[in-house]
Protein backbone atom coordinates (compact mmCIF):
# COMPACT_ATOMS: atom_id res chain seq x y z
CA UNK A 1 0.00 0.00 0.00
CA UNK A 2 2.84 2.38 0.85
CA UNK A 3 4.54 1.56 -2.46
CA UNK A 4 1.35 2.47 -4.39
CA UNK A 5 1.08 5.84 -2.61
CA UNK A 6 4.71 6.58 -3.42
CA UNK A 7 4.14 5.69 -7.10
CA UNK A 8 1.07 7.92 -7.22
CA UNK A 9 3.03 10.82 -5.72
CA UNK A 10 5.86 10.31 -8.23
CA UNK A 11 3.37 10.17 -11.09
CA UNK A 12 1.63 13.35 -9.88
CA UNK A 13 4.98 15.14 -9.54
CA UNK A 14 5.97 14.05 -13.06
CA UNK A 15 2.65 15.31 -14.48
CA UNK A 16 3.05 18.65 -12.72
CA UNK A 17 6.55 18.99 -14.11
CA UNK A 18 5.32 18.24 -17.63
CA UNK A 19 2.41 20.65 -17.37
CA UNK A 20 4.63 23.40 -16.00
CA UNK A 21 6.31 23.53 -19.41
CA UNK A 22 2.98 23.73 -21.22
CA UNK A 23 1.83 27.14 -22.25
CA UNK A 24 -1.57 28.31 -23.34
CA UNK A 25 -1.81 30.53 -26.37
CA UNK A 26 -2.38 34.21 -25.76
CA UNK A 27 -5.97 35.23 -26.50
CA UNK A 28 -6.58 38.47 -28.36
CA UNK A 29 -10.03 39.95 -28.24
CA UNK A 30 -12.13 42.84 -29.35
CA UNK A 31 -15.83 43.49 -28.86
CA UNK A 32 -18.60 46.00 -29.00
CA UNK A 33 -22.19 45.87 -27.82
CA UNK A 34 -23.18 43.51 -30.66
CA UNK A 35 -20.36 41.03 -31.27
CA UNK A 36 -17.26 39.67 -29.53
CA UNK A 37 -14.23 38.35 -31.40
CA UNK A 38 -11.61 36.15 -29.69
CA UNK A 39 -8.44 34.95 -31.42
CA UNK A 40 -5.75 32.52 -30.29
CA UNK A 41 -2.66 31.77 -32.36
CA UNK A 42 -2.02 28.04 -32.26
CA UNK A 43 1.32 26.29 -32.51
CA UNK A 44 1.70 23.80 -35.34
CA UNK A 45 4.34 21.62 -36.95
CA UNK A 46 3.99 23.16 -40.40
CA UNK A 47 6.36 26.11 -40.83
CA UNK A 48 4.60 27.31 -43.97
CA UNK A 49 1.30 28.29 -42.27
CA UNK A 50 0.10 30.05 -39.13
CA UNK A 51 -3.12 28.74 -37.64
CA UNK A 52 -5.57 30.64 -35.48
CA UNK A 53 -8.61 29.57 -33.51
CA UNK A 54 -11.29 32.24 -33.80
CA UNK A 55 -14.53 32.55 -31.85
CA UNK A 56 -17.33 34.94 -32.77
CA UNK A 57 -20.07 35.48 -30.21
CA UNK A 58 -23.24 37.36 -31.08
CA UNK A 59 -24.22 39.54 -28.12
CA UNK A 60 -27.11 41.60 -29.42
CA UNK A 61 -30.69 40.24 -29.56
CA UNK A 62 -31.00 41.84 -32.99
CA UNK A 63 -28.06 39.80 -34.28
CA UNK A 64 -29.19 36.57 -32.63
CA UNK A 65 -32.48 36.95 -34.50
CA UNK A 66 -30.52 37.27 -37.77
CA UNK A 67 -28.47 34.18 -36.91
CA UNK A 68 -31.39 31.91 -37.77
CA UNK A 69 -31.18 32.99 -41.42
CA UNK A 70 -27.38 33.21 -41.65
CA UNK A 71 -26.14 29.99 -40.02
CA UNK A 72 -25.41 28.35 -43.38
CA UNK A 73 -23.46 31.38 -44.57
CA UNK A 74 -21.41 31.43 -41.37
CA UNK A 75 -20.46 27.77 -41.88
CA UNK A 76 -19.84 27.72 -45.61
CA UNK A 77 -19.10 31.27 -46.78
CA UNK A 78 -17.23 32.89 -43.90
CA UNK A 79 -13.78 32.55 -45.49
CA UNK A 80 -14.12 35.92 -47.22
CA UNK A 81 -14.91 37.62 -43.88
CA UNK A 82 -11.42 37.07 -42.42
CA UNK A 83 -8.10 38.50 -43.54
CA UNK A 84 -4.69 39.56 -42.28
CA UNK A 85 -3.49 43.07 -42.93
CA UNK A 86 -0.26 44.92 -42.39
CA UNK A 87 -0.85 48.25 -44.02
CA UNK A 88 -2.68 48.24 -47.33
CA UNK A 89 -2.32 44.55 -48.16
CA UNK A 90 -5.08 42.04 -47.34
CA UNK A 91 -4.24 38.34 -47.15
CA UNK A 92 -7.17 35.95 -47.14
CA UNK A 93 -6.99 32.52 -45.45
CA UNK A 94 -5.59 29.45 -47.12
CA UNK A 95 -8.09 27.40 -45.16
CA UNK A 96 -11.07 28.10 -42.90
CA UNK A 97 -12.62 25.16 -41.05
CA UNK A 98 -15.79 25.73 -39.00
CA UNK A 99 -15.86 24.00 -35.61
CA UNK A 100 -19.19 22.61 -34.44
CA UNK A 101 -19.30 23.70 -30.81
CA UNK A 102 -22.99 23.38 -29.90
CA UNK A 103 -23.11 26.86 -28.38
CA UNK A 104 -25.98 29.06 -29.50
CA UNK A 105 -25.03 32.23 -31.36
CA UNK A 106 -21.33 31.35 -31.26
CA UNK A 107 -19.23 30.47 -34.28
CA UNK A 108 -15.73 28.97 -34.06
CA UNK A 109 -13.16 28.43 -36.78
CA UNK A 110 -9.66 27.15 -37.41
CA UNK A 111 -8.08 29.54 -39.88
CA UNK A 112 -4.71 29.12 -41.61
CA UNK A 113 -2.75 31.88 -43.30
CA UNK A 114 0.58 31.75 -45.14
CA UNK A 115 3.41 32.03 -42.62
CA UNK A 116 5.22 34.64 -44.72
CA UNK A 117 2.39 37.07 -43.90
CA UNK A 118 1.22 35.84 -40.50
CA UNK A 119 4.77 35.50 -39.18
CA UNK A 120 5.45 39.21 -39.40
CA UNK A 121 4.32 40.91 -36.23
CA UNK A 122 2.46 42.99 -35.53
CA UNK A 123 -0.20 42.05 -38.04
CA UNK A 124 -3.94 42.63 -37.74
CA UNK A 125 -6.40 39.79 -37.99
CA UNK A 126 -9.66 41.28 -39.19
CA UNK A 127 -13.23 40.02 -39.32
CA UNK A 128 -15.33 42.03 -41.74
CA UNK A 129 -18.94 41.07 -41.14
CA UNK A 130 -21.04 40.37 -44.23
CA UNK A 131 -24.10 38.81 -42.60
CA UNK A 132 -25.12 40.55 -39.37
CA UNK A 133 -24.13 44.17 -38.77
CA UNK A 134 -21.61 44.90 -41.58
CA UNK A 135 -19.03 46.16 -39.06
CA UNK A 136 -15.30 45.46 -39.10
CA UNK A 137 -13.51 44.02 -36.06
CA UNK A 138 -9.73 43.98 -36.01
CA UNK A 139 -7.11 43.13 -33.44
CA UNK A 140 -3.31 43.21 -33.66
CA UNK A 141 -1.49 39.90 -33.25
CA UNK A 142 1.78 40.60 -31.48
CA UNK A 143 3.43 37.18 -31.06
CATH code at 51? 2.60.40
| pLDDT at residue 43, as a whole number | 81
Question: Looking at residue 7, what is its pLDDT?
Answer: 56
Q: How many domains does the chain have?
A: 1
Quote the Cα angle for 38-128-117, to 5°.
75
What distance in Å separates the CA atoms of residue 45 and residue 42, rounded to the nearest whole number?
10
**What is the chain's pLDDT, residue by residue, as a tens digit (143 residues)?**
555 455 555 455 555 444 544 567 789 999 999 999 999 998 877 778 889 999 999 999 999 999 989 989 999 999 999 999 877 889 999 999 999 999 999 999 999 998 877 666 688 999 999 999 999 999 998 87
Residue 38: domain span: 25-141
Is residue 10 situated within a structural domain? no
Considering only CA atoms, give the Rg of the chain.
19
Amino acid sequence: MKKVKTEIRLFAAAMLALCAGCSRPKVYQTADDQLALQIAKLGNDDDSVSTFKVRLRLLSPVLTELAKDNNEAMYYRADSCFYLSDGNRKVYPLMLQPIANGASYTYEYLISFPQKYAGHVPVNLTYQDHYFNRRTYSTPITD
